[in-house]
Amino acid sequence: MYFCDEKEITVATEHNGNGSSNGNDRDVLFMLSGVALVVFGAGLILSNPIAKKYLGQFGLGDLAQGALPDLDRYLKLRSM
């Protein structure tokens, strides 16, 4: 038995219900919530009419149309 004369220090540790404390579920939750915030933020920016005007000047629609044939070829190769 170990007795300590000094003041005890309490340390908070991570505890899952199943007994393991690796934190993988928590990390995945944080990652997915970050992705959701990025998508939500991009939607807010793209819903702005001024942003739509500036993006229309850059021609991002042409870039997306140019990438679709490559994406189609990739999906065909992947399904083989």
Residues in CB range of 25: below 8 A, 6 or more apart: 16
Distance CA 20, CA 7 (A): 29
Q: Kindly report the pTM of this predicted structure.
A: 0.43
18-72 pLDDT tens trace: 555 567 888 899 999 999 999 999 888 888 888 878 777 776 666 667 777 777 8
* 17 inside domain: no
Residue 51's domain comprises 26-79
- Amino acid 35: pLDDT: 94
The residue to which tokens 């819903």 are assigned: 47
- Amino acid 60: pLDDT: 64
* 61 inside domain: yes
* 14 inside domain: no
* 50 inside domain: yes
* 43 inside domain: yes
- Amino acid 46: pLDDT: 80
